[in-house]
Amino acid sequence: MGAEMPSALFPTHKRVDLSFERGEGAYLFGSDGQKYLDFFSGIAVTGLGHAHPHLVATACRYADRVWHISNNFRIPEQERLAERLAAHSFADNVYFCSTGLEAAEGAIKMARRAQYTAGSPDKVNIITVQGAFHGRSLAGLAATNNAQYLEGFGPRTPGFSQVPFNDLKALEAALGADTAAVMLEPIQGEGGIRRTPLDYLRAVRALCDRTGTLLIFDEVQCGMGRSGRLFAYEWSNIAPDIMMLAKGLGGGFVIGAILATKEISACMVPGTHGSTFGGNPFATAIANAVLDIMIEPSFLAHVRDMSTLLRAGLANLVKKYGHVFSEVRGVGLLVGLKCCIPNNQCVAAAREMGLLTHVAGDNVLRLMPPLIVEPTHISEALEMLDAVAMRVSEETASA
């Protein structure tokens, strides 16, 4: 590693000099001949692990059917997926797209359009929360409001403002006659695995109801079983008006979705929005297969059990290596370990031991194991993290 990698690609991504030949469940097999325990899951995407037999069988079954037809025709797999997502959520209707970025863009348009249709065309502003991540479209960047991501891309798209995390007073003060919606992540992923307190979520819902403001939840990262519920908002006993999904929805195949109430969807008449690829037969067939597994009665209880095990083990590491790790965060299997040394150093050391993890904001090491993880995988990961802490302690002591 370290040597410049020759490539015709854009230099947009900082890549590790490693690729993978095969995946099986929680493991990946690298081109370097090493076996890796995958607690990265392609950024919370491969929730059922690699090469899950039901997903592979579905992909094979659909490979010689109609791959693509566009939304100019009916797509039975898409209709079925929409019905099932609606049946398992607050939503009445579902719009399909391909990525989280598109889901955010569409959700923002829907909120504005719903206000417009309701006779409030001046309600256009979207309020987001500090530490948010809503994708890299121009609107998504304005919503995210990270100066580093905005630099050099011209004027920040108007119609967005931001308030501090978990600060109800600030939100109340920011709500105005021009506010269309509040948009937030029930669990901030990129921002550092920060759970939005449930009391705050309930208070925001009440505030939105009182002021005719719409509530949008970005569950692109924390949805699809990751939190130990199918959707993270379920922990709060309130529901948004609009919700975005992507990452885990296709188990590794490209698909995103916007779920909404019928009041919202009724505004999105022909011509208001669209996508060539969104909800194509292949993508929705795979997402239906993901859902088959996730709605099995014991699936989410398993996620919660594995979460308890992982978090307890991590809490022990914090106790044992307080100078390396300072705090365990997160819900379900979206877990963060706040580091006292640079998080990327811990991620690199873990990878050298054979454990794939990721960084997150606020100097957090992010753990996103596949939701099918077993206790043996968790023990294995904890052992490697213990060894990481030991090694970096020795290095800092000798430095």
Ligand X SMILES: *Cc1c(COP(=O)(O)O)cnc(C)c1O
Restricted to residues 271-330, the positions that interact with ligand X (CB under 6 A) are none
Tell which residue, 170, 308, 114, has the closest CA to residue 184.
Answer: 170
Asked whether position 40 contacts ligand X by CB under 6 A, the answer is no
Q: Which one among 100, 240, 279, 361 touches ligand X, defined by CB under 6 A? A: 100
Asked whether position 189 contacts ligand X by CB under 6 A, the answer is yes
Cα separation, 179 vs 239, in Å, equals: 19
Q: How far is the CB of 23 from ligand X (least distance, A)?
A: 20
The beta-strand segments (E) located in 282-356 are 325-331, 334-339, 355-356
- Give the three-state DSSP class for 44: helix
Dihedral, CA of residue 135, residue 140, residue 144 and residue 147, to nearest 10? 100
Cα separation, 329 vs 335, in Å, equals: 6
Asked whether position 134 contacts ligand X by CB under 6 A, the answer is yes
Instruction: Choose the stretch contacting ligand X; rule: CB under 6 A; options: 48-56, 213-221, 337-345, 363-371.
Output: 213-221
Nearest CB to ligand X, comparing residues 171 and 193: 193
Nearest CB to ligand X, comparing residues 123 and 247: 247
Cα separation, 327 vs 123, in Å, equals: 40
| Per-position x/- string for 235-264, each x denoting binding to ligand X as judged by CB under 6 A, each - no binding | -----------xx-----------------
144 Cβ contact partners less than 8 Å away, ≥ 6 residues apart: 128, 132, 133, 134, 135, 136
Asked whether position 232 contacts ligand X by CB under 6 A, the answer is no
Instruction: Choose the stretch contacting ligand X; rule: CB under 6 A; options: 121-129, 183-191, 198-206, 225-233.
Output: 183-191
Residue 75 contacts residue 69 (beta carbons within 8 Å): yes
Asked whether position 362 contacts ligand X by CB under 6 A, the answer is no
Cα separation, 388 vs 337, in Å, equals: 13
Which two three-digit tokens encode residue 22?
A: 């095969």
Q: How far is the CB of 89 from ligand X (least distance, A)?
A: 17
Cα-to-chain-centroid distance, residue 150: 21
Nearest CB to ligand X, comparing residues 50 and 194: 194
Q: Which one among 77, 185, 241, 362 touches ligand X, defined by CB under 6 A? A: 185
What DSSP state is assigned to residue 222? T
Nearest CB to ligand X, comparing residues 15 and 35: 15
Q: How far is the CB of 299 from ligand X (least distance, A)?
A: 22
Nearest CB to ligand X, comparing residues 218 and 380: 218
* Amino acid code (one letter) for 334: L
Asked whether position 99 contacts ligand X by CB under 6 A, the answer is yes
* Amino acid code (one letter) for 104: A
Cβ atoms within 10 Å, residue 119: 7
Cα–Cα distance list, 218 to 136, 226, 348, 393 (Å)? 14, 13, 29, 37
Q: How far is the CB of 246 from ligand X (least distance, A)?
A: 5
Cα separation, 269 vs 342, in Å, equals: 49
Asked whether position 195 contacts ligand X by CB under 6 A, the answer is no
Instruction: Choose the stretch contacting ligand X; rule: CB under 6 A; options: 67-75, 84-92, 195-203, 215-223.
Output: 215-223
Q: Which one among 41, 58, 93, 221 touches ligand X, defined by CB under 6 A? A: 221
Q: Which one among 77, 218, 234, 380 touches ligand X, defined by CB under 6 A? A: 218
Q: Which one among 135, 186, 332, 336 touches ligand X, defined by CB under 6 A? A: 135
Residues of the shown chain interacting with ligand X in the complex, contacts defined by CB under 6 A: 99-101, 104, 133-135, 185, 189-190, 218, 220-221, 246-247
